[in-house]
Amino acid sequence: MHKRIFLLICLAAAGLFAFKGFDDNKYFDIIKNLEIFTNAYKEINHAYVDELDPGKLMRTGMDAMLGGLDPFTNYISETDIEGYRYLYDGRYNSVGAEAKQMGDWVVITEIFEDSPAHKSGLKVGDAILSVDGQSAKGRSKDDVMAFLRGVPGTKIDLEVQRPGESKNQRVTLERGEIESQNVPHAGIVDQGIGYIYLSTFTHAAGENVANALQELKRKNPDLKGVILDLRENGGGLLNEAVNVANVFLPKGEFIVSTKGKVPEWDRSFKTLHSPIDKEIPVVVLINKMSASASEIVCGSIQDTDRGVLMGQRSYGKGLVQNTKDVGYNAKIKLTTAKYYIPSGRCIQAVRYKNGEPVHIPDSERAAFKTRNGRRVLDGGGVAPDVTLPVDTATGIVRALLDQNIIFDYATEWMLKQPEIDSIETFEFTGWDDFNRFVQSKNFEYESASEKKLKELSTLATSENFAIGADIQAMENKIKAEKKGEMLKNKARIVHEIEQELVGRVFFQRGKVRKSLKNDPEVDAAVKLLNDQTKYKSILAG
């Protein structure tokens, strides 16, 4: 078998030589190193002292090889294909549920509306005890969710432990093809101001945004502005980015070009259709997780001065990936080009640390101009026209979420009163009850300051600095401050509880709608759209 593989490698290399010529040292290096790799792989599998999984060994080697390139060039094994389909097509074969490891069990944390999981009666909070008779105790979330994936139409039997039930429940599900909603909500957030939330650039994203805007205009003839929410949107299909931009930009508008090592593969993309509305004021919300296709849309809107960007600097992914089949249903997702938006800039981050982009000072970025002559910079993401403070769960709020305190409380709350009449009018009023629940769980958390003090104490001890009393005094002060943290963060904690409760009844669309009632960035966008003098002055530079 190994000889056959090596022969095929040699034949492929011979084809390269015939095309390029034996004098090309690069292609000699390729065949030489392929032979070295084949021999090493064969010897390790044959003679290593412990039993090895050949597939896992190959995966480790592939990941190490590609890890020296950029964070977006990856090996996709046969077992990863479903995740890849979901990321790029918005479709995957499963039962339509999300889960999280909690202790010994994997617990259902979200159910998609009208999915097999929803239709079977599976509930958020159910702990999966077994799958087709196989115990799930101690298994990872990835292992259990892999069991749930499979060919549409096939059935799977689950045994679950349901909160509030004394006997375990048996649930039979029929797997199906799940398609995510890339526009889970669109509506009115203020008088005359529309809102469209785009979660991912999967199939038909442009069409769905266009339909959402048309419906908003149909129901609200006096619509005077629209918010396009791209926060947390990690991107997807490049052609859908062009289609989404086309909703607001005229036919024939240049949106993006791609340039790589092979000139014949370079391409330019222009809008192909008439826009839904090329005049209505637009605010695009972005944050540090808005990436790739999101950056093509917000970058083209900014470069053409079609709308105002608000939020925080975007991720900084100006790379284009293509997938190549490498046999046995495996693929390599390979960076083949960089993309350039209308001003001519590439927003790709040029420095990474642990796979994440590192901030680049503005003084090291090249300057470009928008259509109105506004100064914009390349490298490291798209900077918003209006920067807003980061609104994210930190400190005690993050600890309550990470330790599943809010999740568990919501599960208990739903057992007592499982009905919520209205998403918009629902208000959580059980603050004292939640506090009692937190105390019953013996909730504790270590703040970032406490962690740093521990590091300082260890370092000071190793260097024989006698500052133990000073560190202890600071620790005592932090502990005293922490006692009032629950009350100080009450509004944000209540917001997280309401989100969790509404999601149990109204699914993802409910969470999105409820979040808009307590969203300072949406409020800022509404305020700007209601002040057209300021809006126009931003675009005029």
- Average the pLDDT over 234-243 and give the result: 94
In this predicted structure, the answer to whether residue 418 has a pLDDT above a threshold of 90 is no
DSSP structure class, residue 291: -
Beta strands in 299-454 (DSSP E): 308-311, 319-327, 330-340, 352-353, 356-357, 367-369, 375-377, 386-387
Fold topology of 91-179:
Pdz3 Domain (2.30.42)
Query: Measured between alpha carbons, how far is 297 from 241 in angstroms, rounded to an integer?
Result: 6
Question: Residue 81: its pLDDT value, please?
Answer: 61
From 86-95, 111-120, 267-276, 312-321, the region with the lowest mean pLDDT: 86-95
Query: How much is the pLDDT for 18?
Result: 47
Strands 169-174 and 267-270: unpaired
- Give the homologous superfamily in CATH for domain 185-389: 2-enoyl-CoA Hydratase; Chain A, domain 1 (3.90.226.10)
Looking at the predicted structure, is the pLDDT value of residue 23 above 70? Answer: no
Residues 6+ apart with CB under 8 A from 436: none
Q: Are 91-179 and 185-389 in the same CATH fold? A: no
Task: Give the span between the Cα atoms of 403 and 407, in whole angstroms.
Answer: 9
* Cα–Cα distance list, 355 to 48, 209, 358, 409, 479 (Å): 31, 31, 9, 35, 35
Residue 14 has pLDDT above 60, yes or no: no
Q: Across residues 32-44, what is the average pLDDT?
A: 87
Domain ranges in the chain are 2-76, 91-179, 185-389, 395-518
Find the mean pLDDT for residues 398-402: 94
Interhelix angle 448-462/468-482, rounded to 10 degrees, is 170
CA distance 282 to 529: 8
Strand partners, 212: none
Residue with the larger pLDDT of the pair 448 and 99: 99
Question: What does the pLDDT look like over 299-310, one tens digit per residue?
Answer: 999 999 999 999
Least confident residue range of 87-91, 226-230, 407-411:
87-91
pLDDT of 79: 64
The Cβ of residue 74 has, within 10 Å, a number of other Cβ atoms equal to 21
What pTM did the predictor assign?
A: 0.82
User: What is the four-CA torsion angle of 215, 187, 195, 244, rounded to 10 degrees?
Assistant: -40
Residue that wins the pLDDT comparison between 233 and 21: 233
Interval 272-294: pLDDT, tens: 999 999 999 999 999 999 999 99
> What is the chain's Cα-based Rg?
27
- Lowest mean pLDDT across 15-24, 263-272, 273-282: 15-24
Q: How far apart are the first and last CA of the chain?
A: 67
d(CA 461, CA 455) in angstroms, rounded, equals 10
Distance of CA 288 to the CA centre of its chain: 11
Mean per-residue pLDDT of the chain: 89
CB 317 within 8 A of CB 235: yes
Reported as a pLDDT band with limits 50, 70 and 90, residue 19 is very low
Q: List, in sequence order, every beta strand (DSSP E) within 313-447.
A: 319-327, 330-340, 352-353, 356-357, 367-369, 375-377, 386-387
What number is the average pLDDT over the span 518-523?
92
Highest mean pLDDT: which range of 7-11, 327-331, 388-392, 495-499: 495-499
Q: Tokens 């077992």 sit at which residue?
A: 79
